[in-house]
Structure 1
């Protein structure tokens, strides 16, 4: 976990929401939950070391909307990525769960047999994956610890799909349209929306591989250079690996640096012989130029010659020219948005959650991403939630102003239960002990009866405390559903603000404490439970 610790120290004193994926890395189960008095067991968790100055929130609501347990449920809490329940829900209900993104390539100019006397325009449409995660049958693939967290969370892995799949498909379609030569240029049209400074990471209309370069280091033998594989390979990006393999059991510590424009990437450090491959990522700083080059290179592979230089800035001036003779010669059609929502919720995909804000703005006819908060507020009201119970300035739950009152979560979750997409939404959430960012806790039903019965979104906001040389956990939350037996489902929120942890392992323990409480609640309800009551 060295690389993750280093990442925290690099952000000394800054609160960040980057580790909801950490639960998937936790080795500790959510503990055997056979206590006869769950209320006492919950209080015991809340009194553990590290929570001396913390404030806990707890709310459980049964299938009839009755409060079963409540603690500080009317106060604001830092939500972390549990806020994605609201941003993803609003996007889903605003643009539609079955909405598909169609990304076209337009031919502008005149054809002379198989030659285009003009240029090609790739029009970004806000497709989060552009084929890079699309699996058989149109599903969106993910791993429990996503590559977007690779520089901060140990154990991040890649999906097997080609990140350039959509770009390659567009190039093949251009060739199939009869074009073998482009005498003009290729330009990316990214005028769909303009992102906001409040949205970090910033969404872009054209996204290839989450706007990241994947860097996978594999050990060789001690004393030898490590093996490097990287993707997607697009000019002018170059990678230099100076990582060496050290003896088995030695230190694995790999750092990534990049030039100002991001095109020259260097890896340094060590990896232990026999260790698992280590994934790191480096950002694509100019997604439009990157996408343009990727398409020109893909066109070459498909048998289409482009006379313009493959690398260089995106020639946006061409977009101001008259589009007389425009013809759509290719289009990539995405899986439905509900598949994207599944990935965003399962792995806590920050870019995808922020992208939803921009997509809602576009749905209203605006190109300003900040206008996406208006349909979010409209959806919140429709879901029966008082919008004053939310304070949000992004879609991922990482802005310092983000706050949510616990009572808002069960209302949102119960709203979904009244829709035709109820099962689809619930199963898009991480499942305790099974997948996504809850995969690492409660892994065996034999020791944790709640295994596979809790569907919830975790959230983490934490930063390095330089005064005490420890982690300050501003917020750790968990909100969702659990099976209460006999076909019943309860909704719940668990949260703690103001906790602390000595290190990353301590932070994992806090995450697991919330999972343990959720498991206690589930077992109590499934065992017959007690009537609605306040407190514990």
Structure 2
């Protein structure tokens, strides 16, 4: 094996030719970032192009594979967006299967899951989907995660009230979740399910006590039987670290928190997985029906009785229906917070568009989209939708091709603004908040990091960003900036966040350089 040094980048591998000449000189601020000690053994990639003229202004390893991290979501979400359409809405019905006798249904209520990502649990009154800077799905790995204020059971409550409004007051039968839309595929991690309530998570919010030694306070949601949460978290002196861990029973219904939280600190959010989303959703609906004034004879706690599902719903009227926001709202959620479950769900939804319940059949749909969009499919490797599989790879140019494709569609503005905006929102909210490029960089970010036990530090397999640079009002270049093979000086997450800030700063410098050259 040989080490080849090219333009300040160390490349481990076979001796190879130097990269193609860089079309434009790099801003010195960018080269100073690339030369930091954390990147001594890393490889940087850059690409920048005017999609209107095709002019390339930066080209650094643009045709070599990089670990993309979550910039791979640009590929999967694009395929889902194209397949479903930006205006697509998921309509989740409840069918009355049986005979009506006045206000009594002698039969079952079947909730037919449609792959709705949030089922009303994040929907604002204006129909948009709420998100926070650090999403609750990352609460166990990234500090500072917070909750949206919406009721995670909002869609379930909506369905229950509609059943009541349809005149049903008693169900002499069962409540069943029909999850036959697609089969959960464990190769997609996190694994999508046709019915998703609160991202299939229980939220656990711990508050410090009034003084050191006091028990911590606890709030949790959504409260659905038989889930039960206990806490042994104690308050420690102000300034000491908060360290809270979560454990659960094998079925996930008994959850326990332990550890410490510092007096005077902000609440600390943790999450625990719902192990059986169908049983969880069934119980949640039975409980909601009872609150809405509909009595259900069946026991609320227990496995989902899928064996009672009919072959079809012909002759079984829909007595309730929850309709989601537009898919573009879900795409924005996926992009802004890097929502892994939602990105993987898109693979399954592309499969169902062909009538297949096998999520793996979503990949041919995605491949067909890439071909029609004139994107070099051989320059993309994907085994999931989120960008978390070890096999996932993309070239900078391939991502730029996807971004260019959207610039030539009627959804160009909608797609662009669905990405995190530098210094404003999403995963770029806390970067470059007061720099000249604030609000002028729209980009999906990606991170792949893990422990380096040998050196007691974190290894950053990838830190990437790809999106649009506003070079002048209404004009945008497409770009990629990313590094593979970085490391941090210690084993704390702050080192990874610093790498992310470096990539964001490079994007800002590219934007400023381009804007200065075209002003």
Q: Per the shorter chain, which TM-score range?
A: over 0.9
SS at match of 2:309: helix
Residue pair 1:110, 1:325 contacting (<8 A) in 2 also: no
Q: Any gaps of 5 or more consecutive residues in structure 2? A: 1-24
Aligned residues: 491
Matched, 1:522 2:511: yes
1:65 shift after superposition? 1.5
Indicate which of 3, 24, 45 corresponds to 1:57: 45
- Find the residue that maps to 1:81 and give its secondary structure: helix
Q: 1:337 Cα shift?
A: 0.3
Normalized against structure 2, the TM-score is what? 0.93
Which residue in 2 is equivalent to 1:279?
A: 269
**Of 461, 475, 487, which residue of structure 2 is paired with 1:474?**
461
CA distance in 2, matches of 1:73, 1:38: 15
Q: What's 2:443 paired with?
A: 456
Tell me the alpha carbon deviations over residues 365-392 of structure 1, each in whole angstroms, 9 at most, x when there is no partner: 1110000001111111122211001000
Name 2:193's counterpart in structure 1.
Answer: 204
Query: Structure 2 vs 1, CA of residues 485 and 221 (structure 1 numbering), >3 Å: closer, same or farther?
Result: same
RMSD: 1.3
Matched, 1:343 2:330: no
Show structure 1 runs of 5+ residues with no match: 1-36, 531-536
Aligned counterpart for 2:36 among listed residues 48, 69, 72? 48
Question: Map of 1:124-135 to 2, 5 A cutoff?
Answer: 124-135=113-124
Q: Is the 8 A contact 1:168 1:298 kept in 2?
A: yes
Indicate yes or no: 2:455 matched with 1:465. Answer: no
Aligned to 1:83: 72
Q: Would the alpha carbon gap of residues 106 and 486 (structure 1) be closer, same or farther in structure 2, given more than 3 Å must change?
A: closer
Equivalent pair of 1:341/1:428 in contact (CA under 8 Å): yes
Which one of 145, 152, 156 corresponds to residue 167 of structure 1?
Answer: 156
Q: Secondary structure at the match of 2:272?
A: strand
8 Å contact 1:221–1:246 — kept in the other structure? no
Q: What is the DSSP-based 3-state SS (H/G/I as helix, E as strand, rest coil) of the residue aligned with 2:383?
A: coil
Q: Compute the displacement of 1:251 (Å).
A: 2.2
Highest relative contact order (Cα 8 Å, sep 6+), 1 or 2? 1
Per the alignment, residue 373 of structure 1 pairs with 363
Secondary structure of the residue that 2:185 maps to in structure 1?
A: coil
Distance 1:75 1:404 in 2: 8
Instruction: Identify the range of structure 1 (146-155 vs 245-254) with the bigger mean alpha-carbon deviation.
Output: 245-254
Pair 1:291-2:278 in alignment: no
Aligned equivalents of 1:321 and 1:439: distance in 2?
A: 48
2:404 aligned residue (414, 417, 432): 414
Q: Could you list the runs of 4 or more consecutive aligned residues of structure 1 that deviate by over 6 angstroms after TM superposition?
A: none
Q: d(CA) in 2 for partners of 1:46 and 1:392?
A: 27
Residues 99 and 322 of structure 1, relative CA distance in 2, 3 Å threshold: closer
Distance 1:489 1:306, change over 3 A: same
